A and B are shown apart, each in its own frame.
Chain A
Amino acid sequence: MNILNAYSQKTDVQEAVDELKEKFSGFSGKFLLYFASSKYDHELLSVKMAEAFPGVENIGCTSCGEIISGMPLLDNSVVAMLFNEKAIADVNIRIIQNIDNENCDLEEKFKGFEEYFKIPMTEMEIDKYVGIILIDGLRLSEEKLMENICNRTNVVMIGGSAGDDLQFKETRVFANGISYTNAAVIALLKPGMKFGFLKTQSFSETGKSLTATKVNEATREVLEFDGKPAVGEYLKAVGLEREEAEKLFMKHPIGLMFEGEPFVRSLRIFNGDNIAFFCNIIEGMELSVLEWGNIIAKTKQDLQAHAEENGKIEAMLMFNCILRTLEIKSKNLVDEYAEIYKNIPTIGFSTYGEAFLGHINQTATILTFHE
């Protein structure tokens, strides 16, 4: 085994870290990733995790529910994955601070990666490097950050926005013993194993579409669809009254269609005639009105197809939208969902947004490792 996973539900930080250390004992780690409930003392947790695994590069974040294979969706826990040198041949971690400022220090951090790996970011090959990105989930900064990253490299950055157990007060990202806010951490990996990406969601097109004609990108609000007040046009498209539609946002998001699959944009709230989303919508975007389908069948089908294409999955990281988690819980599908990845060493967390070529919603973005 080159990749191990473990979890702890101990409420005391030291006891939780000790339990993880015990479960990983005898395994020589190169890189550690962990996701923890916001109920833990975040500063203490990051320090103790670094102390427990000296010499192991590590990143993590606070979550909104934790995921580990062999267990149903967890709350109030910490999950971790430890990779040895065969799985991750090399890793370098950078922290991007002040992400709510357009002039954050991304360029300097990318220079750091280039110095470490001795290759320009523009020349790194998509099948040799991959980045794991964890972002403060309450800064509305994901789109701009992901755009700036994708402008500078073809390396895929996959990950999610940190959560805080639906408190919406403070989310944290961790790197090598320090807890950060208003920041993103990137672990740029040079895996020793084959790896792949999977983006799965369970929506289909209704045949109705909307074009955003007036937006406020800063607040992620759409003011007008097709030249008319956004709420009215959305209600017409979904065929619902306002009060009913407000209860069914999760069922009817909208999406940017790409090769038959949507990049989902989820509704957050009706704000007068405007609609606030969990994701940016740009003026001129054509969006399909979506309807949810069978989340279990679609996830299983996508995972199976991915394994057939890329080989047996040895381990995976799952960044699962909190709205998917809420859907799974509301439909009493927790056990069925956990069954899908029961036999694949997995960790993940319920996110405030998924990162994959941009910022998306109601999706699971997954990084897989193969023999």
Chain B
Amino acid sequence: MAGKIKAMIDKLLVERAKGNPIVEKTIKAGLLMRGIKVENFDRNSPDDPALIAKLTDMGKTYGINF
């Protein structure tokens, strides 16, 4: 399977930042420090379970259903 990480990142940014560009920027920087460089992922990126777990954690408290 591929593309899940890109979809999760997009959803995380939309639902946590709610259109606030500063929040979006802080989330992207936070992802980078977790080893997730947003620009590196597209629809063909493999579904790495470790990265999926990190993204799930970042959405959990916000009730984001991936």
User: A: which residues have CB within 8 A of B?
Assistant: 121-122, 126-127, 143, 147, 150-154, 156, 256, 258-259, 263, 282-286, 357-359
> A286 to B27, alpha carbons, bound, how many Å?
18
The answer to whether B33 and A357 touch across the interface, beta carbons within 8 angstroms, is yes
B60 contacts which chain A residues (CB < 8 A)?
A: 151
With A126-B22, A154-B16, A357-B30 as contacts: A282 and B35 at CB distance below 8 Å: yes
List which B22-45 residues lie within 8 A (CB) of chain A: 22-23, 25-30, 32-35, 37
B residues near A282, Cβ cutoff 8 Å: 34-35
Bound together, the chains give a CA A176 to CA B65 distance in angstroms of: 40
Report Cα–Cα, A282/B35, bound state, in Å: 6
Query: Is the CB–CB distance between A283 and B30 below 8 Å?
Result: no
Among A122, A143, A153, A263, contact of B32 (Cβ-Cβ < 8 Å): A263
Partner of A150, one of B17, B20, B30, B37: B30
Cβ of A285 and Cβ of B26 under 8 Å apart? no
Interface-central residue, B16, B28, B33, by most chain A CB under 10 Å: B33
- For residue B58, which residues in chain A have a CB less than 8 angstroms away from its CB? 150-151
Bound complex: CA of A122 vs CA of B29, how far in Å? 18
B37-A357 in contact (CB<8A) = no
B65 to chain A, nearest CB (A): 14
Q: Please, which residue of chain A has its CB at the minimum distance from the CB of B18? A: A154
Interface residues in chain B, defined as those with a beta carbon under 8 Å from any beta carbon in chain A:
16-17, 20, 22-23, 25-30, 32-35, 37, 57-58, 60-63
- Inside 8 A of B34's CB, which chain A residues have their CB? 147, 282
Q: With A284-B35, A286-B37 as known contacts, state yes or no: A263 contacts B23, CB within 8 Å.
A: no
Q: Which one of A121, A154, A285 lies within 8 Å of B35 (CB-CB)?
A: A285
B35 touches A122 (CB 8 A): no
Chain A, Cβ-Cβ closest to B26: A357
In the complex, A358→B26 CA distance in Å? 10
Say whether A258 contacts B32, CB under 8 Å.
yes
Q: Which of B28, B35, B62 has the most CB of A within 10 A?
A: B35
Residues of B near A153 (CB, < 8 A) are 61
**How far is it, in angstroms, between the C-alpha of A258 and the C-alpha of B28 when the chains are bound?**
9
Contacts of A152 in B (CB 8 A): 61
Contact of A258 among B23, B29, B61 (CB under 8 A): B29
Main secondary structure, interface of B, reads: helix
Further contacts, 19 of them, CB under 8 A, given A150-B30, A150-B58, A358-B30: A126-B20, A127-B22, A147-B34, A151-B60, A152-B61, A154-B17, A256-B32, A258-B29, A258-B32, A263-B29, A263-B33, A282-B34, A284-B35, A285-B35, A357-B26, A357-B29, A357-B30, A358-B29, A358-B33
Contact B35 A126 (CB under 8 A): no
Identity of the chain B residue whose Cβ is nearest the Cβ of A125 in the assembled complex: B20
Chain B residues near A156 (CB-CB < 8 A): 26
**7 pairs of A and B residues whose beta carbons are closest in the complex:** A282-B35, A358-B33, A152-B61, A357-B29, A150-B30, A154-B23, A357-B30
**Separation of A19 and B29 alpha carbons in the complex (Å):** 42
Distance of A357 Cα from B27 Cα, bound (Å): 8
Query: Closest CB-CB distance, B4 to chain A, in whole Å?
Result: 17
- Give the CA-CA distance A150 to B58 in the complex, in Å: 8
Closest chain A CB from B19 CB (angstroms)? 12
The CA of A120 and the CA of B58, in the complex, are separated in Å by 16
Measured CB to CB, the closest approach of chain A to B15, in angstroms, equals 10
- Ordered by A's residue number, 25 sampled pairs between the chains whose C-beta atoms are within 8 Å are A122-B63, A126-B22, A126-B23, A143-B33, A147-B30, A147-B33, A150-B30, A151-B60, A154-B16, A154-B23, A156-B26, A256-B33, A258-B28, A258-B32, A259-B25, A263-B29, A263-B32, A263-B33, A282-B35, A285-B35, A286-B37, A357-B29, A357-B33, A358-B33, A359-B33
**What are the residues of chain B within 8 A of A286 when measuring CB–CB?**
37
Shortest C-beta distance, B22 to chain A (Å), equals 6
* Contact indicator A122/B61 (Cβ below 8 Å): yes
Report yes or no: B35 in contact with A283, Cβ–Cβ below 8 A.
yes
In Å, the complex CA distance between A284 and B45 comes to 14
Q: B61 is contacted by which of A143, A151, A357, A358 (Cβ under 8 Å)?
A: A151
B23 and A122 form a contact (CB under 8 A): no
